[in-house]
Chains A and B, each alone.
Chain A
């Protein structure tokens, strides 16, 4: 893709119009927020915003991989809830034990999804729906349907509550590292190219001799692992494993991926744009909260869901316009 041609901004904007639009919207909202609200740019809001949204960013990253292959993973919210409970139970042994094991639990769910989809040929939508129910049930069973307090004596809560340089929560730093690693995998490795090729056409990729099944297994396991990480952040940030959390997280993740310009039909997708999409979604609610605080509007919590749906609707309308334009351009060329 990248060749010796000089970087042409106009071409880049044309080709990535949606992700550019997302970045501009993100910047505009931040500027708007800083100008309008006193504490918006303060370190407290900054930290809590990043900490809270790191969960959604990391889930959206895994979801992005899955969606690029043309699949979907509806189980992420339940898997995050399950692994938050596991992490809480393991918290007395410290972060170095709880984090890897909770990640492993998430990846195991991902592997189960992959097994159902690849070996049993169950459509991703159904397979991950079943895992969503199963993981939710399992989380409620092992926790006795109530929150599980973490051990405050160990270093477990550092991840969700402490900040590096008094500014960046450790959760967002770990998520950033994961994001960069996944970005490298997608853009620079043969595995990443296979993942993109699967979304373009699975049968063709198979005929070309690409290791399709291995790549598909990878994306679902990664998505499960990302959900597991979100669960650890949840448990350490709120001081408890939360079996009842995670409801509709898959929707937030899908929305973030779609906002980031990844086509739901697969074959295209960008990690940075997905992060921007997740940040934009989070920021919309952050600003609504501030607006609520000023008393200019009074939104009950129920409005959140309505707005989220309306936002998704707007993005889908935008995307159908864009893809139509792209298609017709491609046809004329």
Chain B
């Protein structure tokens, strides 16, 4: 009798860990930090982490949508660099200097349009030409950053523009603006996924693309739309990074972001085969990735070792997923 009770209890604990592995991992990291990392429980730490998490989370949400259709987008980091390189070029130009308000507006709008166009390119390659997503997005992964560097001649662009910098340094109700932005985007995307036909098709394509096609769904259009959303979010993240630094470095902006975004999406519960779009999971994943990075750095672990840790996280997260499926 008592053994069965402990067994069921053990089972429920296991289920809890299984279903909410991400949250358990998050709590573990938080507890570890409270115990060992000096000055962890300070507002400053919170601000630093929120402003870093927001960019990862914004890109990871787009990645989650792409992964939900069974795809992948390697070009997000390059799109960040491209959008980030364009913005200062626009508001630092003669026209931008003469019309500050219009200049900043254009410096946000035009890079976003370019980012969306990049997504459109990826989407057409994948949905119309049937190129594998890894390869299709590889094209912009390679050349996108190159274009950004050609545009800026490889130079670091520094600037002081408080209006534009609000994207990265502004505060609403005491918390960083981009954190609110990320939450707003998450709520919006959650609504799209759960309440609209578009959202249902995203999940249907990932579940069984052929079936979605045979039932008359606009598979190609939905896929293109998903890559465009992912491109737009990457562009936004690129602008935020530039705004945080008050400088645009095309060589470094968004470098390796595709890995962080994929890792965050997977840790958040996205299945690489598609069919699931846990938007809030992507935020949770981004928080975990950022906290692991922060924990290692704050405890004096080298950057390079942090890379190995990230590799380990990705492997464990995918392995747990795989094991759960079987």
Contact = CB atoms under 8 A, between A and B. Distances in A.
B146 A138 contact: no
B306 interface: yes
Interface of A: 72, 116, 120-123, 125-127, 129-134, 136-138, 140-141, 145, 248, 251, 254, 258, 264-265, 300-310, 312-313, 316-317, 320
B135 interface: yes
A10 B135 CA distance: 31
Contact of A137 (B131, B266, B307): B307
Given A254-B138, A302-B149, A309-B142, 4 more contacts: A126-B315, A248-B142, A306-B146, A316-B125
B150 A303 contact: yes
Contacts of A125: 72, 134, 272
Contact of B141 (A140, A251, A316): A251
A122 B147 contact: no
B194 interface: no
Nearest to A141: B304
Interface string B261-295: 01000100000100000000000000000000000
A23 to B, nearest CB: 23
A309 B144 CA distance: 8
Interface residues of B, number: 43
A133 B322 CA distance: 21
Contacts of A129: 259, 262, 311, 314
Contact of A313 (B139, B150, B304): B139
B311 to A, nearest CB: 4
26 contacts: A72-B134, A123-B272, A125-B134, A127-B315, A129-B262, A130-B314, A130-B315, A131-B311, A133-B259, A133-B310, A134-B307, A134-B308, A136-B304, A141-B302, A141-B308, A145-B304, A300-B149, A301-B154, A302-B149, A303-B150, A307-B143, A308-B142, A312-B135, A316-B129, A316-B135, A316-B139
Contacts of B310: 133
Contacts of B303: 140
Contacts of A303: 146, 150
What DSSP secondary structure best describes chain A's contact surface? helix
Nearest to B142: A309
B44 interface: no
A308 B304 CA distance: 28
B67 to A, nearest CB: 11
Nearest to B309: A137
Contacts of A137: 304-308, 311
Interface of B: 72, 125, 129-132, 134-136, 138-147, 149-150, 153-154, 259, 262, 266, 272, 302-308, 310-312, 314-315, 318-319, 322, 326
Contacts of B134: 72, 125
B259 to A, nearest CB: 7
B308 A316 contact: no
Contacts, number: 123
A301 B135 CA distance: 23
A258 B134 CA distance: 13
Nearest to B303: A140
B318 A264 contact: no
With most chain B CB atoms within 10 A of its CB, the pick from A72, A130, A251, A312 is: A130
A316 B322 CA distance: 31
B138 A305 contact: no
Given A129-B259, A134-B308, A317 B139 contact: no
Contacts of A134: 307-308, 311-312
Contacts of B307: 133-134, 136-137, 140
Nearest to B129: A320
Given A126-B318, A130-B315, A138 B308 contact: yes
A92 B307 CA distance: 30
A300 B262 CA distance: 32
A264 B135 contact: yes
A312 B138 contact: yes
B312 A130 contact: yes
Contacts of A145: 304
A193 B223 CA distance: 36
Contact of A300 (B139, B150, B259, B305): B150
Given A125-B134, A251-B141, A300 B304 contact: no
A307 B149 CA distance: 13
B142 A251 contact: yes
Contacts of A320: 129-131
A306 B308 contact: no
A312 B153 CA distance: 23
Nearest to A258: B135
A126 B314 contact: yes
A132 B307 CA distance: 10
Contacts of A120: 315, 319, 322
A114 to B, nearest CB: 14
A316 B314 contact: no
Nearest to B130: A320
A304 B315 contact: no
A306 B92 CA distance: 25
